[in-house]
Amino acid sequence: MARKNMIQIGMIVLLVAAVGLGCDSVESIDENNFIMSIEANPSTLDTQEYSSITVTLTHADKTVSTSSDSGTSATTVTTGESTPVTGYIVTFSFSQNESGAQLTVVNASTDSNGKATAIYQAGKNDGIDIVQARIENGQTVKTSIIVGSSIDTTTTTSTTTTTTSSTTTTTLL
């Protein structure tokens, strides 16, 4: 029984680590203030169903000003309003494809709203697929799509309690 619980805890830790490593990343901002986001709608579906993948690319104006007063200096960075970026080529691909899914690019170049789109079709297998989008400067965003009903999508918090003498230590994994 204890071994089974440890295996379940290990699987939960792996799932949390996978999500924490960027599988659900939806926004990226580079050093030039390009803001790139990705959305899958819907992001949970059954085998062979479709999802719309939309990438939005915007640019935020940035103003840097420096002031000094009595031997101290301050630098202020002000980010202005984001405006859509038109004409950037977006490359869609899989970084993980457990279901055997397919991507069909609808609009590879960002339009006047800064959007590029692809259609995702889930494969025949249950699993988690990760779609990534990249622009030529290397900026990349990823989103995960859960396919099938056998994938557990509930958020689980696991608590392990160890008792020694009269001291109780609780570790949250």
Q: What's the rounded Cα separation, in Å, for the pair 162 and 171?
A: 8
Statement: residue 64 has pLDDT above 80: no
Neighbours of 150 (CB within 10 A): 8
Statement: residue 21 has pLDDT above 70: no
- Name all domains of the chain by residue range, CATH numbers in brackets: 2-172 (2.60.40.10)
Cα Rg for the chain, rounded, in angstroms?
Answer: 22
For the chain, the average pLDDT equals 74
Can you give the pLDDT at residue 32? 77
- Quick: pLDDT tens for 88-137: 999 999 999 999 999 999 999 999 999 999 999 999 999 999 999 999 99
Q: What's the rounded Cα separation, in Å, for the pair 144 and 85?
A: 24
**105 Cβ neighbours under 8 A, 6+ residues apart:** 92, 116, 117, 118
Cβ distance 119 to 103 under 8 Å?
yes
Statement: residue 29 has pLDDT above 90: no
Neighbours of 142 (CB within 10 A): 20
Overall average pLDDT of the 44-69 stretch: 83
Instruction: Label residue 31 by pLDDT band (50, 70, 90).
Output: confident
